């Protein structure tokens, strides 16, 4: 048996066929396969949804926030973010020109604590950026209500939560925009890549502009690129001004390519099956490890939500007779891949020391950083793999109790 990995990538025959077709046609930059993937992803999230594919999940967050400048936001305005998240979420806030305002985690769910959000909202706040961490939905009812009260946008970071549901609604559709990642270790993958979804057609056009340097040409399908046909918008800004080289806003270079889209097209056909397999694996591990509940906090599902688990996270309880380093080293030594849970970005990551926060400012996020780790829960794990994870964790604990 090989190493039991945290993530998985499987490329099927349809993806290979589409990739070879793109190579044969010498068209590998953004084109018809990207548009096909966008339409599949949009349709999955609702009939009125638009999807705009971009280069990474970080870019999805960044461009979604940058689109708010067209709605009146100013550089230096603030965005409320969870302290407990992957650093990409916060990097996106900064890259988009905003200032992050951090909120601690709820110790029971690990999601942003809505009870603390109101305290960080100021006259400069423009958005709340909740993260559906590890595939568990954030408390959207409370966050959407707070946003409405203060006239803020809600941009959902659903990078790790494809297919998760909150009160029957799929995550990413509960706010103004939803941002997703298709990184290789995520629930579905295009290798790299990301997407932003929205029901707002105007915002979709702005996002297309932002991913292409901010250019004024932002139709879903460019007639000039597809067939060199007549485009009535080509000279809308003047006879000597080509829309394709006229830039309305500060933008980015963040397009998805055809080879990535080919992977995504195939994976969209399997998304629901992938989510179901991951759910089954998580619930099986929870059941088999229940005897050790005195030592671990598990990822669990509330009645109002449907998890789409990215990984299998465990937070070691404070009075456990072992440390995170001890158990993860043991698992790694026995060919079970582990990763640390993210912890508090403003107080446990040197990159954000400039914000001036101190250890103790976000105690619940910091506790997860100190005592949290995860192993795999992906769809390519076998029952034997899962049983090995259970056996090794149980074996380690029994040795620790001697």
Q: How far apart are CA 177 and CA 253, in angstroms?
A: 20
Provide the token pair at 261. Answer: 């889209």
In this structure, the strands spanning 125-128 and 169-170 are unpaired
Distance, CA of 99 to CA of 94 (rounded, Å): 6
Active-site option among 50, 186, 364, 378: 186
CB 310 within 8 A of CB 160: yes
Strand partners, 204: none
Instruction: Give me 342's structure tokens.
Output: 């993210």
Asked if residue 175 lies in contact with residue 154, where contact means CB atoms within 8 angstroms, the answer is yes
Least Cα distance to 59 among 95, 98, 35 occurs for: 95
DSSP, res 70: G
Chain-centre distance for alpha carbon 39: 19
Which H or E run contains 20? helix 13-24
| Residue 364, C-beta contacts closer than 8 angstroms, at least 6 positions apart | 84, 104, 105, 106, 107, 113
357 annotated active-site: no
Which residues are marked as active site?
186
């Amino acid at each position: 048996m090989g190493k039991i990995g945290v993530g998985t990538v499987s490329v099927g025959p349809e993806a290979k066929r589409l990739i070879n077709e793109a190579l044969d046609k010498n068209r590998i930059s953004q084109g018809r396969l990207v548009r096909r993937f966008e339409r599949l992803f949009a349709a999955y999230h609702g009939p009125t949804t638009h999807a705009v594919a971009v280069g990474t999940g970080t870019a999805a967050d960044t461009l979604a926030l940058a689109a708010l400048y067209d709605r009146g936001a100013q550089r230096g305005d603030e965005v409320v973010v969870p302290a407990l998240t992957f650093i990409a979420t916060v990097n996106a806030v900064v890259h988009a020109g905003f200032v992050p305002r951090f909120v601690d985690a709820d110790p029971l769910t690990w999601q942003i604590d809505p009870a603390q959000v109101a305290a960080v909202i100021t006259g400069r706040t423009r958005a709340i950026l909740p993260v559906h961490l590890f595939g568990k939905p954030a408390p959207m009812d409370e966050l959407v209500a707070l946003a409405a009260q203060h006239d803020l946008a809600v941009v959902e970071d659903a990078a790790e939560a494809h297919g998760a549901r909150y009160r029957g609604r799929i995550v990413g559709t509960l706010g103004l925009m939803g941002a997703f990642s298709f990184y290789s270790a995520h629930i579905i993958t295009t290798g790299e890549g990301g997407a932003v979804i929205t029901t707002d057609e105007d915002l979709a056009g702005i996002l297309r502009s932002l991913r292409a340097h901010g250019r004024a040409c932002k139709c879903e399908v460019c007639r000039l690129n597809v067939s060199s046909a007549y485009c009535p918008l080509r000279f809308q800004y003047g006879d000597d001004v080509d829309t394709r080289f006229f830039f309305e806003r500060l933008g980015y270079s963040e397009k998805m390519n055809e080879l990535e889209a080919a992977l995504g097209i195939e994976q969209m056909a399997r998304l629901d099956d992938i989510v179901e397999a991951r759910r089954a694996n998580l619930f099986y591990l929870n059941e088999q490890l229940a005897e050790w509940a005195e030592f671990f906090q598990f990822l669990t599902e509330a009645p109002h939500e449907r998890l789409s688990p990215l990984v299998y996270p465990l937070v070691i309880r404070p009075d456990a007779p072992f440390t995170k380093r001890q158990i993860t080293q043991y698992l790694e030594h026995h060919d079970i891949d582990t990763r640390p849970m993210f912890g508090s970005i403003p107080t446990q990551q040197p990159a954000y020391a400039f914000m001036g926060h101190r250890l103790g400012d976000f105690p619940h996020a910091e506790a997860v950083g100190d005592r949290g780790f995860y192993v795999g829960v992906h769809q390519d794990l076998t029952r034997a793999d899962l049983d090995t994870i259970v056996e090794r964790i149980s074996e380690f604990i029994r040795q620790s109790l001697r």
